[in-house]
Amino acid sequence: MNGIEARKIIERTKSHIKSRDLQIKISKLEQSMDYVEILNEAHQLSIALAMLVKNQEENIQEVLEKVQKLKLDEYIVVDTGSTDQTVSVLRMIENIKLYEISWVEDFAFMRNKVAELTSADWILTLDSDEILISEDIDLKLLVYLLNKVGESDFSINFVQRSIGKSSYDTPSRIYCPSRSTYFGLVHEELRDKITGKAVGGVMTDIQIINQGTLPKEIQKFSKEERYMKLSKKMMEIEPDNPRWFVLMSGNVSQLLMKEENYEEQLKKYLFKNSDSGLSEKNILQNTYTRILLEKYSLFLIIHGRLAEAQELSTFGLKLFPLDIYLMFYQSLSQLEFFKLQIKNLLKRNLNQYLTLDTQQSSDYNNTDTQLLELLLAELNLMLGKVSIATKISENLTDKNVLDIWENWHSF
């Protein structure tokens, strides 16, 4: 391979890194080294796939076929007790090392157990229901470049998308097992082996599709119940770490909302002093502050505390002006507040109409009450009572009133 070809590969690999600062550092590295030399050194690194699997007979072959295109040094697959044909499928796939280990309800323990089965310099962690979309990537080169310009331990994070959802996660997927280890019964986190601190992630545009969020997969593995139980245990083990509270999935989080101490937990993780109100000085700034503000805003809206929700989301946008969830909750709380005010006003007007003596009104105005019935139809429509509004409007016979109704709804 000549220098021109090597440079193209390096540039293509560098483009997967989202950080502009890291890209600039890599460009400076290129100026101090020969392109072919960079590639040769990079390919001295070893990378192994480390995968846990259970009951994935439908997906596992496609998952492994995709990742084998990366041409890693090892493919370590650990079955944790499949009762379907997963093991039989795995035995027919070439170039993998298959182990069978009983499952322990501790995700970090299991991931670390798999890591012990390889001596590779770096590990690619994929779940058995994650399909790699980005295939034409030189992972060794990517790791080498980041390791050269990095100043501390790091992981490489992928974009994890779920079917039917526009939002995505960015989990750690490549790490150095001699430096880092997993911690946590669920939603496990990579931590530095020496300092015990969370390992920083380098964001990339490498994409995987997570099929584990499909309803059938959630139900098959009882994920909601298990994850909620494990998350609560982690909250007991590390009561001051908001991670375990924040990373509960949407459905699990909704179940937790019904518990009496949910708001207390939110305040505990958000504020230095829960009685001191909203101020930047009183906010606990950390990796999870944004999500906590989002969760608290939603909680307040669900419980009809619209003015508080509006105040909180507006405050949150001062700290995180690009947060679309806070934008949504701010507007939603405003809209719901105005809708509530209108509903209350309309109910008062509705009661006024219902207590009206229609005969007396007809004699006084020299006309019947169809004009008021038109208003009654509109009030019901605004209150969401569409069938009642339709029934009232169908009984209107006065042409002038019908014209008003038609023009009203043509705005």
- pLDDT category, 392, cuts 50, 70, 90? confident
User: For 69-84, what is each residue's pLDDT tens digit?
Assistant: 999 999 999 999 999 9
Evaluate whether the domain defined by 3-216 bears CATH number 3.90.550.
Answer: yes
Q: Model confidence over 119-173: pLDDT tens digits?
A: 999 999 999 999 999 778 999 999 999 999 987 889 999 999 988 888 889 999 9
Which helix (H) or strand (E) segment is 385 a member of?
none
Q: What percent of the chain has pLDDT over 70?
A: 97
CA dihedral of residues 9, 145, 171, 67 (deg, nearest 10): 40
- pLDDT tens across 271-285, in order? 999 888 788 999 999
Q: Report pLDDT for 253.
A: 61
In order, the DSSP letters of 116-184 are TT---SEEEE--TTEEE---S--HHHHHHHHHHH-SS-EEEEEEEEETT-S-EE--EEEE-TTTEEEE-
- 10 Å Cβ neighbour count for 274? 13
Question: Which residues pair with residue 208 across a beta bridge?
Answer: 132, 160
- Summarised one tens digit per residue, pLDDT across range 87-118 is 999 999 999 999 999 999 999 999 999 999 99
Q: How many residues does the chain have?
A: 411
Q: Taking the CA atoms of the chain, what radius of gyration do you get in angstroms? A: 30
Cβ-defined contacts of 170-173 (< 8 Å, 24+): 170/201, 170/203, 172/125, 172/199, 172/201, 173/124, 173/125, 173/126, 173/206, 173/208
Which of residues 248 and 320 earns the better pLDDT score? 320
pLDDT in tens, 23-52: 999 999 988 889 999 999 999 999 999 999
CA angle 123–126–128, rounded 5-degree value:
140
**DSSP code string of 31-73:** HHS-HHHHHHHHTTS-EEEEEEESS-TTTHHHHHHHHHTT--S
Q: What pLDDT was estimated at residue 258?
A: 67
How high is the pLDDT of residue 410?
A: 66
Instruction: Work out the angle at residue 210's Cα, subtended by the Cα atoms of residues 171 and 183, and round it to the nearest 5 degrees.
Output: 35
Residues 224 and 251: beta-carbon distance below 8 Å:
yes
With H, G, I as helix, E, B as strand and everything else as coil, classify residue 191: strand
Amino acid 251: pLDDT: 61
pLDDT at position 38 is: 93
Check if the beta carbon of residue 67 is closer than 8 Å to that of residue 139: no
Nearest to 106 by CA among 196, 216, 209, 237: 237
Residue 225 half-sphere exposure toward CB, CA atoms < 13 A: 4
In CATH, the architecture of 223-335 is Alpha Horseshoe (1.25)
Predicted local distance difference test score (pLDDT) of residue 343? 77
Higher pLDDT, residue 103 or 366:
103
Residue 207 has a pLDDT of 94
At 211-234, the pLDDT tens digits run 887 778 777 878 888 888 999 999
Greater confidence (291 vs 350) lies with 291
pLDDT at residue number 404: 83
Q: Give the C-alpha separation, 397 to 161, whole Å.
A: 56
pLDDT at 252: 55
Portion of the chain with pLDDT greater than 90, in percent: 64
**Cα 171 from chain centroid (whole Å):** 10
* pLDDT over threshold 80, residue 370: yes
> What integer pLDDT is reported at residue 100 of this predicted model?
96
What does the mean pLDDT of the chain come to? Answer: 90
**389 within 8 A of 373, measured Cβ to Cβ:** no
Phi (first) and psi of residue 76, to 5 degrees: -95, 120
The pLDDT of residue 379 is 77
Answer yes or no: are the C-beta atoms of 343 and 335 closer than 8 Å: no
Q: Where are the domains of the chain?
A: 3-216, 223-335, 356-408
Q: Do domains 3-216 and 223-335 have the same CATH topology?
A: no
What distance in Å separates the CA atoms of residue 114 and residue 78, rounded to the nearest whole number? 7
